[in-house]
Every structure is written in structure tokens, then in C-alpha cells.
Chains A and B, each alone.
Chain A
Amino acid sequence: MKPLGKHNHPYIPNSQTETKQEMMREIGIKNIDELYADIPKKYLLKKTLNLPEALSEFEVKKHVEALLSKNKTSNDLPIFLGAGCWPHYVPAVVKEIVQRSELLTSYTPYQPEISQGMLQALFEYQSMICELTGMEVANCSMYDWASALGEAARMASRIKGRSEILVPKIIHPERTATLKAYSEPAGISIKYLAYNVEDGLISLEDLKAKISDKTAAVYIENPSYLGFIEEYVDEISKAAHAHGALFIVGVDPTSLGILKPPGDYGADIVIGEAQPLGNPMNFGGPLLGIFACRDDLNMIRHMPGRIIGMTSTQDGSQRGFCMALQTREQHIRREKATSNICSNEALCAVASAVYMALLGPEGLRELGETIMYKANYAMQLFSKIGNVRVPVFKSAHFKEFTVNFDEAGLTVKEVNKKLLQRQIHCGKDVSKEFPELGETALYCVTEIHSKEEIERLAEALEEILVGR
């Protein structure tokens, strides 16, 4: 018997022997290797590579399922983790649409007439992101929030011809690392804004001290990485604009059902992570970077990424959609492009469009409220435990909040281990990221966490911290 994988492979119709021979005859060759004759012989592999043996579809399925079943998910135990990739429910309609083969197996709509479905869905994604964030223009995706931040810094620097960006000290470490990698080659320097020890909010004094006519942009996150809501947005926005800098705001879009959209407080660019709008966590990827700006021609021309526009047929008889402003992009502008991005996260954007359409304005408001209620309920319960500080900062929090174990004399690592023994997975250890905050963890509560799970966690914490 021939081994699986070569002859007559189900994915390769012309691997069937007679077909192959007919085609070779037509070309005038006896052996396919003749088509490789221009490759120096020494480079043509003679040995077998160390790769697995081909398996049948059934075997592949069993094998991968068995490996994945070694993982533990929130179906196995409650997991109170977010930190940039959040657990949310994905409605069935979203899953159904993104599995539609015509969308799933298409590529960038270079031929718009035959790709209207994808183009319209992406235009609707852009439009809905605009409504949610209060902006007027959005692109049809970046890789994720972190790379969107990198691109936003570069865009601000290009527009302003300035080389400094001010960012909060309390920011996701992965976003800072990515920002550094994106901005260093462009000669952009990053300055960190101190926070008020009491409430965690950006210190307006420090902002005043650091902002200058070198500042290309002031960046804030709302809610912040550690979950608290930045309050003095109007002051920060005014300060940025007074110095001729752009104001960039990063968002978790699930908060925007109840929080004021950045467009309403003067944001010039809004970025963020739209994974929670209809995309599973998938161990951190694919994600979906939001990128939106104001209706300002100069800004639009400096935007990175693909943008879909509404147009009409040449005879004017019908509305249609196509990629707009392609002269910004790498395939036309090459080394002068606004970004090198080509493949993006289009299908994730379609998922988010379907999600936003399903929830609508009321659903998104309710989602925000549910998260707000549940997270605050958890904070309330935990703060009743004697020797734990919840949250570390006296501010309003959305979805995520900090829990400090200094008084209990335990490390986050120890607490998490004990919780895991009780079949509860808890928050991210941020004590190394912010040593000044002591033994602190970042907990996440969303609409998927039930009252019982939150209470179980409170009991377990009490047992570990007090009753030991």
C-alpha cells in the first residue's frame, strides 16, 4: 500500500497518476524534477525531513482534540483573567457568518465587483466602530491594540513632525514593548506620565511638566490597563491640543455602552482591542486592532491600513464598495507607504460587525451595565475580607480591578496556586510590572461570570487569606 499523503491526496486533485502524466505530456517533460532543473542540485533535498507521517482526517481530528483537551478553559473552571484578551460570550449568529465559505476563503477584495459582500461588511464594521467611539473614519483593522498603538504613534509623529509621545505609566507591558519596537526606528521617544498614588489617574501636574512643543501626541487608555476609569479626560485633551499635539485614546469597546465615547472628549485618534466584540480569546490571537480618526483629510491620508469606501458603479446606477485611498499603501507607495500592513484581521472585523449589529445600542448598554455590576459586586465581596485591598486605587473600575495581598503577607503567586488547587483560576500577577504596588493581581469579571462563581472565589480567598 502507498503511504498516505502523496498519491491521490484529497487536497491535490492533480496528484492522481493519470492526470499528472497527461499534464507532463502536454508540457513536454517526463518527470516533474525537470521543472526544478534550474535549482542548484546541492539545494534539492535528498534526505527526508524530520516531519510527522501523514494522518487521515479522522486521525488528525483525534490527535488534535486529544492535545487540546489537555488545556483547561472556563468550561472546566472559573477563570478571572483578562489583561488585554477578555472572555466574553460569542453569539451563535456570529459563528455562523464567519464560517460562510464565501467570506472565509476569500482574500483582500482586489476585484471589488465580485467581492461586494466582504467590502460592505467591512464598511459596516468601520461605520459601527465610528458610532461606538464617536469618530468619523475607521480603517478595517489592525493586528491588535498593541500594534495599533505603534502605528498611531508613528502617524502622530508624521503629521506633527515631532518626535515625542507621552503615555501613562500604567499601561499594558506588552503594549509598551510593542510601542517601543514600532517607534524606536522612527526616532520617536516615549515619555511616561506619572499617576496619582491615591486614585491611579494620570497626574495632571506631571502632564503639564512634560508636555511641550516637541510632543506629537498624548496617549491615554480608558479604562486603564488596571481597570480604573480615567476621569480628567477633558483636561488632558485640552492640554494636548493647547500644545498642538494629537490626543490618542485607547479603549476596550465593551465599555462604550456606558462610558462616554472618546470622540466626545476630543480624541483625534482612537485605538483599542475589538476582540471582545464577537471574537474568542484563542490563547491571544487573532485579535482585532481598532483604528479610527476624525474626518480630516490630512489625518485620513496618514492613516495606516486598509480603508473601505462607499462609491457607485461607473454608470451611476448602483451603490457599491471598494478599497479607498490605496495610494497610502505599500503595494503602490512602497517605501513611502504610511505602513507596511497588507494582510490584516478582516474576518475578525466581520465578526465584530455582526456582534455590534446583534447587540445594537441597547444590547451594548446592557452588556456594559452587566460587566459593571458584576465587577463591582466582586470588588464589594472581596473588600469585606479583612486583609486584602480591593481595588488598590480609589477610582471607578470597569471589568478589571486590582487586588493586593500585602497585608496578608502572601504573594500573588502563592494565592493563585492555592486558588488553582481549589479549581479557580485567578488574575494576572502584576507585581513585577509595578513593583511599587506590592503583591497585586489584576482580576477580570465579565458577563460570563455567574454570581455563584464570584461568591465561590470570595469564599476561597477568605479561606486562603484569613482562615489559614
Chain B
Amino acid sequence: MEGEKGMFKQASWNEPVIFSLGREGRRGHNPPKAEEAIRQAVGSLDALVPESMRRTRKIGLPELSEVEVMRHFLRLSQMNYGVDSGLYPLGSCTMKYNPKINDLLASLPSLGMLNPYQDESTVQGILEILYKIERWLAEITGTYEVCLQPAAGAHGELLGTLLMRAHHKLNGDSEKRNEIIVPDSAHGTNPASASMAGFNVVVVPSDDDGCVSLGALKAAVSERTAGLMLTNPNTLGIFERNIDEISRIVHEAGGLLYYDGANLNPLLCKARPGDMGFDLVHINIHKTFGTPHGGGGPGAGPVGVSEELAKFLPVPRIVCRGERYRLDYDKPHSVGKIRGFYGNVAVLLRAYAYILSLGYEGLREVAEISVLNANYLMKRLKGIKGLALPYNSEKPRKHECVFSAKPLKTETGVSALNIAKRLLDYGWHAPTIYFPLIVDEALMIEPTETFEKEELDRFADAVRRICEEAYTNPEVVLKAPYAAAVSRLDEVKASHPRTMALSWRMYLKKNGENL
């Protein structure tokens, strides 16, 4: 049932929670101590900490030796799956190879030991790097100025919507223009970001081709429209062919056009959002520019804007005079700040090295092969019994394709979720499932440019086998996975008020033990 011998099997250590490891009195690290002369000179610490603020009980942390800590986390790492482990076709997440040289450079102390408030004369190297990334990203996106501050794509969206707000406010329009339009195929972050920036969200449906319905868009715009947030290619992997018309409708209504950069990879050095009329663009550095996703972050979400919007960007701006780089805080129209300091610099440095390793031609090749891979995989998956390809199955996709497992579900009871779980047994991460919301039983597949033809072939063969299994022996698929570190998890239990354990302390409390 668990697949044949010689197949993938993830490490399964049954590793205890760290709180049940170690023993009182053990030490994993000795931080430096104050010199004896200092201790003598300063005297008792009790005299230095007000009584009301002294810690009176030991911190409830486990006590482990260095050996035990290393082993514990090494074992945990072995129960995890990354892009270096194999195909990670998580749609809209652009799980591409993360070049090792970039990690090596980002771990140099000449970056790590830099404080953001150091005198400009002592940080010229890093300022030059950041300045150049801004220029390169502006060039790639076709925007006028780029701000590196956002820590993630959604953070970039928040900044983008705040910039829209600032723009309309300056025009005396902010009270009236309180709506942001998003397509029904949009990433969840778009409506969430618009709402955080104080806008009402208006959803427009897609047409039969999976693109924004022009009729619906025309009906949706009004003098209340602040802007439209759009990802292009969209989440079906389809290029919004009416982009000219979309841009005209939104701009004529007085709105701004926002580009969600989650799907920029297939357009790298092929076409530029700025040229298509987008006024604001965010870039997911951890997707398009190959920086590691780190299990959920850190990423970086720089925002590029048109000349008209540049004055609203957060402070400071990096400026270059001759050969000198400095930070400029004097921006009266700026929206201020959306986080501390200047951005996720260690992530941005990796992107700098990535661009250098590829150059214009290489980035163009990244885009082209990402599209070639997606269309190749789509071709290999098309016609598998149980899977449908909604929205114009003849049309080429860009970076990703979205299949529907609805026929399979109806005929066998095996859902997109079950396919995803069974794929784990073959040694791959699963695609994104149940997104976009406009596709039933969605399997959203983005292979990126990273994976070789042979791996794509093996993946397509596995999907075919799983779908066949669904017809012949559905139980196997319904109960997958078997080869992951644990079998299928009870996710309902994790969120149920009675069983919810969000920390060790909460777990002990619920299980009747005292800390």
C-alpha cells in the first residue's frame, strides 16, 4: 500500500518537543561574562534593577547541552522538504533554485555586523548595492523609482495601497475614492491589503477565458474607484490580453493600476508592467529573484512606482551624488515608514548577486524556460483521466497552469487534497490546492525554470498513476501520505478551542499538568 520498495521515504525521528529533552543544569552555550574588574566596579546588580522589575523566577526554558540542541534541530531539518529536495510546484509561490553562492555572500560579517544607523562613510559598500538594486528593479519593472522597505509581497501591497491613498488624498479625493477593485482570481493578500489600507473591496468576475471581464470592470469603476489590483499573468497563468483596455478603463475613471508581482517570473526581461500602464508594482524578491523562502520568510517585497507617485515613497531614500551614497529623509509627501530601517537587506543582497549571475540574457532565459516548463508540464498532464483544464485549454499558459480534479472527485471521491497528499509519497511537494477560488478542486502547478525535463516527466507520470489509482484503488489515495514523516494530520483538532495547543505551556495546561 505504501508504494514499492526503493521509493521515497522521509526521515521520521519521532523527535520529542524540546521541552521534554535535556536535564536541569545542562548548558548549550556560555555567553561571555563581564570581566571581574567590571563586576567589582559595578557591584550588586540588585541595586541597579528596581525591585518591581526584577525577575524572581527562572525562565521555563529547557536545559540542553550544545550536542543535544544540534542533534534536535538537525533531526527536525531532516523532517522537512525544500526546493533542494526536489520539485516544489507550489503555484504562485515560484519555488525556484536558490543559488548557494548568494547565501554564502549574505552570511559575510561585512554585512551581518552592520548597524543601520552607522555613519554613511562606513557603509558605502552596502548603500551602493542597495542603490543599484533599486535601479535594476526599476529597469526590470519599467517603473521610475523603487523602494526596498517592504519585508514581503503582502507588505509591498500594503505600501502600494497606502501610496494610492496618499495620491488621492493629495488630490483631495481620498474621502470619495474609497474602493479598490480586485478580480475574483486575485491572491487573498490583495483584498486583505486593500482593506488594511482602509478601502472597501469590489470584486470583478473573470470571463470565459479566465481574464478580467471588461463588461464587469466597466460597471465596477466609478468616482469611488481608487484603483485596481491585478496580477498579470493572472493566477490561472493566463496573460490578461485586454491589458490596454483595462488600463484605459481604470485610468479614465481616475483610478490607479497596481501590479501584484507574484507572477512576474515569466515576464522577466520579456515585458514590463510599467510599459503596460501599471502605476505601482511590487516585486516578490523571494520568488522572482531566487532568494530562499526560509519556511515562510524572510522575503522582500520592493515597490516600484511611476514618477508621479515617487514623492510618496517611505523614507529614507538612497541617493547618489557623484560617488557618494547617502540616505535622504527630507520627503515632505512621504507616507512615512511601514517598518524599521530600510528593508530585508540580507535578502536583497542575494537578489543583487542573482541578477549579476544571470544578466539581461540570463533573466530572459529564466522567463522563457519557466514558461516552457509550465506549458510542457501542462501538455504532459492534459488528457489524464479525471483532470480537466478549465478556461480555454488550447491557450498557452505562462508560468503556471491550473487543473481541476473535479471530474476525479465526482467519479472516484478522490479530491485535489488527496492527490496532493499522495504526491508527497512520490517525493515531491504538492502543488497549491483549492486556489484560485474560481476553479473547483484546483491544482495550481508552477514548475519554474529550475527543474529539468526528466523531473517534470517523472512528476507527470506520478500524477497519471495517482489518478489511475483513484479509479482502481481509491482507498490508497484517500489515506495518503505514507512516506512523509507523519501520516495525515488532524488539522481540525489543531484549531478547535477544546484541543487547541498553540504553545507548550498551553498544551500542558490543557493536559492537566502544571508548569
Question: Are A12 and B490 closer than 8 Å at their CB atoms?
Answer: no
Contacts of A343 in B (CB 8 A): 151-154, 284, 286, 293, 296-299, 301
Of the candidate stretches A81-89, A189-197, A209-217, A403-411, the one touching chain B is A81-89
Of chain B, the residue at the smallest CB distance from A175 is: B340
Contact A48 B113 (CB under 8 A): no
Is A399 interfacial (CB 8 A cutoff)?
no
Interface check A136, CB cutoff 8 A: yes
CA–CA, A100 and B70, complex, Å: 12
Pick from B59, B72, B192, B376: contact of A334, CB below 8 A.
B192
Instruction: Tell whether, in the assembled complex, residue A121 and residue B76 are in contact, meaning their CB atoms are under 8 Å apart.
Output: yes
Contacts of B244 in A (CB 8 A): 40
Structural contact, B188 and A332, CB atoms closer than 8 A: yes
Q: How far is the CB of A332 from chain B (nearest CB, A)?
A: 7
Verify B372–A32 contact, CB threshold 8 A.
Answer: yes
Q: Is the CB of A52 within 8 A of B356?
A: yes
Among A231, A326, A425, which residue has its beta carbon within 8 angstroms of that of B118? A425
- Are B340 and A146 in touch, CB under 8 angstroms? yes
Q: Using CB atoms, name the residue of chain B closest to A124.
A: B18
Which of A75, A181, A261 has most B Cβ within 10 Å? A181
User: Is the pair A380, B297 in contact by a Cβ cutoff of 8 Å?
Assistant: no
Picked from A273, A342, A348, the residue with its CB within 8 Å of the CB of B298 is A348
Q: Does B122 contact A (CB under 8 A)?
A: yes
A341 to B241, CA, bound (A): 30
Binds A, one of B124-132, B251-259, B407-415: B124-132
Determine whether B319 belongs to the interface, using a CB cutoff of 8 Å to chain A: no
In the complex, are the beta carbons of B340 and A358 less than 8 A apart?
no
Q: A373's contact among B39, B77, B338, by CB below 8 Å, is which?
A: B39
Measured between beta carbons, the chain A residues less than 8 angstroms from B342 are 283-285
A73 and B335 CA atoms in complex are apart in Å by 31
Tell me how far the C-beta of A66 lies from the nearest C-beta in chain B, rounded to whole angstroms.
8
> Which B residues lie within 8 Å of A72 (CB)?
118, 122-123
Q: Establish whether residues B503 and A136, one from each chain, have CB atoms under 8 Å apart when the complex forms.
A: yes
How does the 8 Å CB contact mask read for B102-138 relative to A, with 1 for contact and 0 for none? 0111111111111111110111111011000000100
Q: Which residues of A contact B228 (CB under 8 A)?
A: none
Known: A117-B80, A131-B505. A53 touches B359 (CB 8 A): yes
A104-B98, A307-B502, A348-B298 are known contacts. Are A35 and B32 too (CB-CB below 8 A)? no
Is B84 part of the binding interface, using a Cβ–Cβ cutoff of 8 Å? yes
Q: Which residues of A contact B420 (CB under 8 A)?
A: 111
A416 to chain B, nearest CB (A): 7
Does A102 lie within 8 Å of B101, measured CB to CB?
A: no
B361 touches which one: A6, A141, A287 (CB < 8 A)?
A6
Contact of B55 among A44, A48, A260 (CB under 8 A): A260
Of the candidate stretches B213-221, B303-311, B445-453, B462-470, the one touching chain A is B445-453
Contact A340 B272 (CB under 8 A): no
Question: A286 with B198: in contact, given A311-B499, A337-B188, A343-B299 (CB under 8 Å)?
Answer: no
Q: Please measure, in the bound complex, the distance between the C-alpha atom of A89 and the C-alpha atom of B296, giving whole angstroms.
A: 25
> A260–B56 contact, CB under 8 A?
yes
Q: Report the nearest B residue to A377, measured CB to CB.
A: B38
A147 and B489 contact, Cβ closer than 8 Å, known pairs A6-B361, A26-B379, A359-B28: no
Smallest beta-carbon distance A26→chain B, Å: 6
The 8 Å CB contact of A54, one of B30, B53, B165, B361, is: B361
Assess whether A20 is in contact with B372, with CB atoms less than 8 Å apart.
Answer: yes
Known contacts A145-B340, A284-B116; decide if A6 and B365 are in contact (CB<8 Å): yes
- Taking the closest CB of chain B, its distance from the CB of A83, in whole angstroms, is 6
**A468 CB-CB contact with B under 8 Å:** no
Find chain A residues with CB under 8 A from B69 CB.
93, 354, 357-358
Known: A357-B28, A360-B63. A54 touches B358 (CB 8 A): yes
Q: In the assembly, what is the distance between CA of A307 and CA of B505, in Å?
A: 15
The answer on a CB contact under 8 Å between A12 and B424 is no
Contact A51 B139 (CB under 8 A): yes
Beyond A178-B339, A259-B49, whether A185 also contacts B197 by CB under 8 A is yes
* Contact B269 A185, beta carbon cutoff 8 Å: no
Q: A226 interface residue, CB < 8 Å from B?
A: no
Interface residues in A97-122 by Cβ distance below 8 A to B read 97, 99-118, 120-122
A393 proximal to B (CB < 8 A): no
Q: Chain B 369-405, CB within 8 Å of chain A: the 1/0 string?
A: 1011101100110000000000000011010000000
Q: A131-B60, A340-B193, A363-B28 are in contact. Are A107 and B293 (CB under 8 A)?
A: yes
Q: Name the residue on B nearest A292 (C-beta).
A: B503
Determine how close the nearest CB of chain B comes to the CB of A185; give it in whole angstroms. 3
Report yes or no: B38 in contact with A71, Cβ–Cβ below 8 A: no
Q: Contact partner of B488 among A24, A52, A314, A334, CB < 8 A?
A: A314
Task: Please state if A102 and B82 are interface contacts (CB–CB under 8 Å).
Answer: yes
Interface residue from A68, A111, A341 paired with B152 (Cβ < 8 Å): A341
Across the interface, name the chain A residue whose C-beta is closest to B18.
A124
Distance in Å: Cβ of A257 to nearest Cβ of chain B = 7
CB atoms of A324 and B502 under 8 A apart: yes
Residues on the A chain within 8 Å of B157, using CB: 340
Instruction: List A396-448 residues whose CB lies under 8 Å from chain B.
Output: 396, 416, 420, 425, 428, 447-448
CA A231 to CA B55, docked complex, whole Å = 13
Q: Is there an interface contact between A315 and B487, defined as CB atoms closer than 8 Å?
A: yes
For the complex formed, measure the closest distance between the CB of B485 and the CB atoms of chain A, giving whole angstroms.
4
Question: Is B177 engaged at the interface, CB distance under 8 Å to the other chain?
Answer: no
Query: Interface readout for A270-294 with B: 1 if CB under 8 Å, 0 if not?
Result: 0001000000111111110000000
State which of A68, A101, A140 has its C-beta within 8 Å of the C-beta of B125: A68
- Once bound together, how far apart are the Cα atoms of A259 and B51, in whole Å? 10
Report A340-361 CB contacts with B as 1/0, cut-off 8 Å.
1111111110100110111111
Nearest-Cβ distance from residue A51 to partner chain B, whole angstroms? 4
The reply to whether the CB of B1 lies closer than 8 angstroms to some CB of chain A is: no
- Contact of B38 (CB < 8 Å), options: A5, A19, A154, A374: A374
Contact of B487 among A11, A113, A120, A309 (CB under 8 A): A113
Residues in B neighbouring A466, C-beta threshold 8 A:
none
| Minimum C-beta distance from B137 to chain A (A) | 10
B33 at the interface (CB under 8 A from A): yes
Q: Are A113 and B153 CB-contacts (below 8 A) given A372-B49, A374-B38, A448-B32?
A: no
B45 touches A258 (CB 8 A): yes
Q: Which residues of B contact A329 (CB under 8 A)?
A: 188
Chain A residues 1 to 35 lying within 8 A of chain B, measured CB to CB, are 3-7, 9, 11-15, 19-20, 22-24, 26-27, 32, 34-35
Chain B residues in 8 Å Cβ range of A447: 31-32
Pick the residue among A14, A336, A341 that contacts B449 (CB under 8 A).
A14
Contact A111 B360 (CB under 8 A): no
Q: Are A174 and B340 in contact (CB under 8 A)?
A: yes
Contacts of A322 in B (CB 8 A): 489, 491, 494
With both beta carbons as reference points, the residue of chain B lying nearest to A103 in the complex is identified as B77
B192 touches A111 (CB 8 A): no
Q: Which single residue of chain A is at the shortest CB-CB distance from B452?
A: A13
Given contacts A105-B292, A126-B502, contact A428 B117 (CB under 8 A): yes
How many angstroms from the CA of A308 to the CA of B136 in the assembled complex? 37
Among B54, B82, B276, contact of A258 (Cβ-Cβ < 8 Å): B54
Contacts of A306 in B (CB 8 A): 296
Could you write out 10 A-B pairs with CB less than 8 Å apart?
A44-B271, A53-B360, A67-B129, A81-B118, A117-B80, A283-B342, A317-B487, A360-B22, A360-B28, A396-B49
In the complex, given contacts A64-B352, A340-B189, what are 16 additional A-B residue pairs having Cβ atoms less than 8 angstroms apart?
A5-B357, A11-B97, A51-B140, A51-B360, A54-B356, A64-B105, A70-B128, A72-B118, A81-B118, A111-B420, A111-B424, A116-B484, A124-B19, A257-B59, A342-B189, A396-B48
10 A-B pairs with least C-beta separation: A284-B341, A54-B359, A185-B198, A347-B294, A284-B116, A5-B362, A280-B112, A117-B80, A70-B125, A105-B82
